[in-house]
Amino acid sequence: MDNHAKHEKYMKRCIELARLGLGHTAPNPLVGSVIVYEDKIIGEGYHRSFGQAHAEVNAINDVRDKALLKKSTLYVNLEPCAHTGKTPPCTDLIIREGIPEVVIGTSDPHPLVSGKGIQCLKNAGVHTICEVGKKDCIELNKRFFTFHTLKRPYIILKWAQSADGYMDVIRQPDETSEPNWISNEISRILVHKWRAEEQAIMVGTNTALMDNPRLNVREWHGKNPVRVLIDRSLRIPKSLHVLDKSIKTLIINEIKDQQDGNNIYIKTSFDQRLLFSVIEILYKLEIQSVIIEGGRMLLDSFIALGLWDEARVFTGTKSFGQGIRAPVIEGCTKIQTNIIHDLLTAYYNDQQILQ
């Protein structure tokens, strides 16, 4: 096996390890690291949770015979940090342990790190190889890269539609009920898994009023996302689940700025820039990803502006005949998967692909 193939192999293992931290590390990135001696992994680790040890530290600590570090190669999917944050710089530890070679998947877009970690290693005489499996490493941390390069959260649109293309039947404006389920139970569990992987979830006023959603991860183990509610004139009754104060909830409105327990009211102008303003609010709060689970109007607004990165659409087996038409996305990359009898289509906004 040549060196390039070997480096690619161990970088894939770094990515596998890094994924184990999904839903726990934000606003930090997903990072995995392995240490290799004579083509054998002797230590590995990943960043488990925000504020805890970084992947490189865990990988080094996993090595039983520390004397081997001076003859080994450390692999990591993201540039090691060279600054002190909640933990000391990883570059200092790598240099102190005498690791002679480091292979890096991609540089870090964070301004406190960007290029500094790589330069620090090179200045110390560490043989540093960069951009191994770069595309896959960026894809792994698409939320982190989007946040730091596009200055906004990674935006995922999600909805379910009937076999004949409807999101819902026609309901009366004052009709509050449970959601009209289209997808199957396994698909619904998958949605709760997704919620645990993202930092926020957003709905509009009509969805909150009609469906009375909880927007939590009760069907999966993980952290509840921050709820984001668009409610211009504060029409939503406090008796509904979304305002029960059990989860941090941002209520975007044009009336008041106020905090009431976990309910945080944020005032903004409801003009043609509304969605940009909402996304700016999330960016300032360091929210790196958001799922839009709103109704047709909210979803269409994001699509019309091109303000999205990914869309996940379940198509069920039942037909409605008439009702509220589902949004339509055209002219972009899509991947389809079957979830029992549901069809899951993932769309990717090619205009937003990170290089």
Give which of 19, 26, 22 is closest to 226, Cα–Cα: 26
Look-up: residue for tokens 């003859």?
71
pLDDT value of residue 110: 86
Beta-carbon neighbour count of residue 136 at 10 Å? 16
Find out whether 118 and 128 touch, Cβ atoms under 8 Å. yes
pLDDT block averages, 10 residues each, the chain of length 355: 89 98 94 97 96 95 97 97 78 96 95 88 96 96 96 97 91 61 90 96 94 93 95 96 97 98 98 96 97 94 96 94 92 91 94 61
* DSSP for residue 213: -
Helix axes 296-305, 274-284, angle to 10 degrees: 90
pLDDT value of residue 213: 94
pLDDT value of residue 177: 54
Give which of 317, 312, 345, 327 is closest to 154, Cα–Cα: 312
**CA 194 – CA 292 distance, rounded (Å):** 12
Question: Parallel, antiparallel, or unpaired for β 289-292 and 154-161?
Answer: parallel
pLDDT value of residue 112: 78
N- to C-terminal Cα distance for the chain? 28
pLDDT value of residue 15: 98
The H or E element spanning position 32 is strand 32-37
| Residues labelled catalytic | 56
Give which of 85, 126, 290 is closest to 108, Cα–Cα: 85
Asked whether the CA dihedral 275, 26, 146, 345 is positive or negative, the reply is negative
**CA 292 – CA 310 distance, rounded (Å):** 10
pLDDT value of residue 180: 66
Beta-bridged to residue 339, according to DSSP, are 342
pLDDT value of residue 111: 82
**CA 104 – CA 19 distance, rounded (Å):** 17
pLDDT value of residue 282: 98
**CA 292 – CA 302 distance, rounded (Å):** 9
User: Is 65 exposed, middle or buried (CB count within 10 Å of its CB: 0-12, 13-18, 19+)?
Assistant: exposed
